[in-house]
């Protein structure tokens, strides 16, 4: 990840680190000159680099710390989505320790008024990371609401960290767009749903009573700028500037009845049970518009034995959405199957 960040924004590292620190630290005493031997044994006198100012120390602290902070954040998000509570708590403790130490270092610097807002952004980011690390602490079971709150603070921390980097006003950081690259790197590096089903894959489930079995398939996704309903009172839907509509086909099937019960109807998820995940944001489908010129809408409900329905979910999304980073999650009882939309569009 460090190499990727360097390749994305090499100028930022050169700008913030004007000379290499030996063994990761600066000399405690800085003489005006240093003497070393040349190849022919002759003593050569060379000027020793000037010590870093506190403004430069702050920039160095922000750029160097951002890699570790985001790596641990990525680990937290991965652990949350794989329900690995032990790993999540370990990473939460790590980010609390790291962010707490960085916070003390940043506040100890006597920065100029020009850098005060940069430090403020950095401290706000660290505070958000600390809260995100504190929430999963303790031995109590991790609820979904608690995890959502922790992830919200991780996102807030990343946003303010990006702002702090953009505030490191050196020519290189401004021209290379370090803050944007850092956020893009985080979004692209996060394995949000590493075990996501591929589009077209079938997820099988039983109803709450275990009497009926069903399946759910996400079979197609595409974007468009407008569509309209058909029928007696047609209605036009036009995407707002900077946005588009994402249409995702959902197919639900009643696979069969089992047991001695008399309930032969299967409850399938309604459109409100689906969530679109995209680069840290979540989107809910709009209310079912009914039949459209693009096809039927999906609305869920109940199915009889061997019955099957399919239709579109409609989402309002950014116009430049990259479906390789988009996922559809369904809430079916205690199950949360997820499909990757990579390869569609």
Residues linked to residue 33 through DSSP beta bridges, in sequence order: 47
Q: What pLDDT, on a 0 to 100 scale, did the predictor assign at position 253?
A: 95
Q: Are 62 and 164 in contact (CB under 8 A)?
A: yes
Give the residue among 150, 149, 105, 148 at the shortest CA–CA distance from 123.
Answer: 105
Task: State residue 169's pLDDT score.
Answer: 58
Model confidence pTM above 0.75: no
Q: Beta-strand (E) ranges in the chain?
A: 33-37, 43-47, 197-198, 202-206, 212-224, 226-228, 236-238, 243-257, 266-268, 274-278, 281-283, 301-303, 308-318, 326-330, 338-340
pLDDT digits (tens, 9 = 90+) for 165-211: 888 754 443 434 444 444 454 444 445 687 889 999 999 999 888 88
The closest of 182, 195, 199 to 69, measured between CA atoms, is 182
Q: What is the pLDDT along the chain (345 residues), one digit of tens a residue?
A: 333 333 333 333 333 333 333 333 443 444 444 454 444 555 545 454 566 788 888 888 888 888 888 888 888 887 777 777 888 888 888 888 899 889 999 899 898 988 888 899 899 999 999 998 888 876 667 777 777 788 888 888 888 888 888 887 544 434 344 444 444 544 444 456 878 899 999 999 998 888 899 999 998 899 999 999 998 889 999 999 999 999 999 999 999 988 777 888 999 999 999 999 988 789 999 998 989 999 999 988 899 988 999 999 999 999 999 898 899 999 998 889 999 998 765
Query: What is the C-alpha to C-alpha distance for residues 218 and 248, in angstroms, rounded to an integer?
Result: 7
CATH of domain 197-340: 2.60.40.1240
pLDDT tens per residue, range 134-176: 888 766 677 777 777 888 888 888 888 888 888 875 444 343 4
Domain-wise residue ranges, the chain: 2-189, 197-340
């Amino acid at each position: 990840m460090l190499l990727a960040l360097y390749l994305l924004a090499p100028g930022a590292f050169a700008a913030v680190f004007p000379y290499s620190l030996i063994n990761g630290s600066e000399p405690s005493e800085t003489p005006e000159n240093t003497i070393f031997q040349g190849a022919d044994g002759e003593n050569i006198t060379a000027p020793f680099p000037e010590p870093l100012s506190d403004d430069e120390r702050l920039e160095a602290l922000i750029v160097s710390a951002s890699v570790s902070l985001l790596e641990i954040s990525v680990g937290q998000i991965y652990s949350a989505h794989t329900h690995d509570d032990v790993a999540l708590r370990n990473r939460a403790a790590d980010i609390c320790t790291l962010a707490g130490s960085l916070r003390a270092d940043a506040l100890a610097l006597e920065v100029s008024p020009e850098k005060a807002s940069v430090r403020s952004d950095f401290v706000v980011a660290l505070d958000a990371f600390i809260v995100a690390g504190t929430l999963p602490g303790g031995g109590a079971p991790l609820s979904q609401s608690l995890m959502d709150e922790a992830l919200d603070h991780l996102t807030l921390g990343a946003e303010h960290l990006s702002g702090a980097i953009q505030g490191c006003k050196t020519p290189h950081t401004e021209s290379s767009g370090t803050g944007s690259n850092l956020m893009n790197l985080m979004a692209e590096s996060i394995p949000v749903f590493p075990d996501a089903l591929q589009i077209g894959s079938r997820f099988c489930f039983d109803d709450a009573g275990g009497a009926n079995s069903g399946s759910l398939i996400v079979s197609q996704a595409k974007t468009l700028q407008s569509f309209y309903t058909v029928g007696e009172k047609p209605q036009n839907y036009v995407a707002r500037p900077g946005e588009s509509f994402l249409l995702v086909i959902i197919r639900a099937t009643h696979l069969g009845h089992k047991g001695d019960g008399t309930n032969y109807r299967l409850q399938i998820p309604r459109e409100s049970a689906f969530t679109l995940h995209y680069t840290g944001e979540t989107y809910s489908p709009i209310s079912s518009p009914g039949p459209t010129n693009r096809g039927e809408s999906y609305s869920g409900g109940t199915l009889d034995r061997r019955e099957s329905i399919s239709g579109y979910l409609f989402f309002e999304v950014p116009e430049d959405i990259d479906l390789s980073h988009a996922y559809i999650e369904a809430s079916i009882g205690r199950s949360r199957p997820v499909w990757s939309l990579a390869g569609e569009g």
